[in-house]
Amino acid sequence: MAIQISPSILSADFANLEAAAASVPSADWLHVDVMDNHFVPNLTVGVPVVEALAKVATQPLDCHLMIEDPDRWAPLFVDAGAGSVTFHVEACAAPVRLARELRSLGARAGMALKPATAIEPYADLLEELDMVLIMTVEPGFGGQEFLDVCLPKIERTAALLAGHEADIWLQVDGGVSSENIERCAAAGATVFVAGSAVFGAERPDDMVRHLRHLGALT
Ligand code: DX5
Ligand code: ZN
């Protein structure tokens, strides 16, 4: 599967998200971190900002919902224009029902796991999904250090996904950079979120292409 890069706008200039999107034309997606100050100790953007960004960005939006009650809120992000909506399984009451609803509305459905959440209990649900997101930091903030302890889970998830006929993407998010993207790709990840690595770079779009190149080496 081709390597995809999804820059996280959490590390971009929130006063000018249109310019942030325009600064990474090579990006496959734009990753939007939605936080509610309940599921995580931070508060970011919600449906209205996603709706506005969807109108001006050329890339599809990859919304990562770090919120309580995604069963209620996630469908609204599809209505707002997101191409992919990822909910945290730790917060979700009915992941199969929600994934089916997101897909029926026309979006890709993703399921995210925090570092201490195992993939194995969800093995039978995977065919309901378009993507699994393995967090490689505790969700809540950009700029944190990549947690190597998550690599074995990436490998185990990739092995589970390989047993399915459907092309279910494996995304990693948190501290991803040119230092570790090759190890993530070797473990089986194919979609890479990078916030500070991309928007902290002097030329963000060059970094997007550099990361994609490194991710494809393995
Ligand atoms: C963390 C977010 C990540 C974060 C990535 O809770 O889900 O998407 O913004 O930023 P970096 O790449 O700086 O860790
Ligand atoms: Zn994220």
For the chain, the domains span 4-215
33 is catalytic: yes
Q: What is the pLDDT of residue 169?
A: 98
Q: What is the pLDDT of residue 218?
A: 82
Note down pLDDT in tens along the chain; length 218 residues.
799 999 999 999 999 999 999 999 999 999 999 999 999 999 999 999 999 999 999 999 999 999 999 999 999 999 999 999 999 999 999 999 999 999 999 999 999 999 999 999 999 999 999 999 999 999 999 999 999 999 999 999 999 999 999 999 999 999 999 999 999 999 999 999 999 999 999 999 999 999 999 999 98
Given the CA of residue 10, which atom of ligand 1 is nearest to it?
Answer: 9
Residues in the chain: 218
24-35: burial string, b at 16+ Cβ within 10 Å, e else: beebbbbbbbbb
173 is catalytic: yes
81: left (phi over 0), alpha (psi -120 to 50) or beta: left
* Ligand 1 within 6 A of CB of 142: yes
Kindly give the distance from the C-alpha atom of residue 173 to the centroid of ligand 2, in angstroms, as a whole number: 6
The CB density around residue 37, as the number of other CB atoms within 10 Å, is: 13
Q: Which ligand is nearest to the CA of 114?
A: 1
Amino acid at position 107, single letter: A
What span, in angstroms and rounded, lies between the C-alpha atoms of 56 and 160? 37
Question: Which residues of 51-90 form beta strands (DSSP E)?
Answer: 61-66, 84-88
* Ligand 1 within 6 A of CB of 130: no
Q: What is the pLDDT of residue 120?
A: 98
Q: What is the pLDDT of residue 65?
A: 99
Question: Which residues of the chain form beta strands (DSSP E)?
Answer: 4-7, 30-35, 61-66, 84-88, 108-113, 131-135, 169-173, 191-194
Q: Which ligand is nearest to the CA of 144?
A: 1
Beta bridge partners of 62: 31, 84
Topology classification of domain 4-215? TIM Barrel (3.20.20)
Q: What is the pTM of this model?
A: 0.98
Biggest CA pair distance of the chain: 44
Sign of the dihedral through C-alpha 97, 98, 103, 109: negative
